[in-house]
Amino acid sequence: MSTSSRCAACRHLRRRCPSDCIFAPYFPANDPHRFACVHKIYGSSKVGNMLQDLPVELRAEAADAICIEAECRVQDPVYGCVRMISLLQQQIHNAESQLVKARAEIAVLGSHAQELRHHVQDI
């Protein structure tokens, strides 16, 4: 395989890109940042092993998830994507609190409407 058709991983690792390259389908040459992140965080042999251990049909989704985690950790070297999990949990907590309040308000308005209806009937 010629130098120009090496995948982003083989370019990064300065090696020949074999025809059965484990990285090539998930790390195209036109997105070098994607491999640079996973290489920095996991190292190429770990990523290669993680992909190799999975059935072929699951590797694309695994590569995407590994890239998300690696990019999060490059951007936030302390919390990585755990920060996003914390923020989302906080957001759910807020939404659920608002929902509890809204349901309480519905109950009050419902019973108030009921009282008014009885009052109208009594008149």
Residues that bind a copy of itself (CB under 8 A): 41-43, 46, 50, 53-54, 58, 61-62, 64-66, 68-69, 73, 77-85, 88-89, 91-92, 95-96, 98-99, 102-103, 105-106, 109-110, 112-113, 116-117, 119-120, 123
CA distance 48 to 78: 25
**Nearer to a copy of itself among residue 1 and residue 88 (C-beta):** 88
Cα Rg, the chain, nearest whole Å: 27
Residue 57 in tokens: 């049909």
**Nearer to a copy of itself among residue 29 and residue 81 (C-beta):** 81
CA distance 88 to 95: 10
85: Cα separation from own chain's centroid = 10
**Nearer to a copy of itself among residue 1 and residue 92 (C-beta):** 92
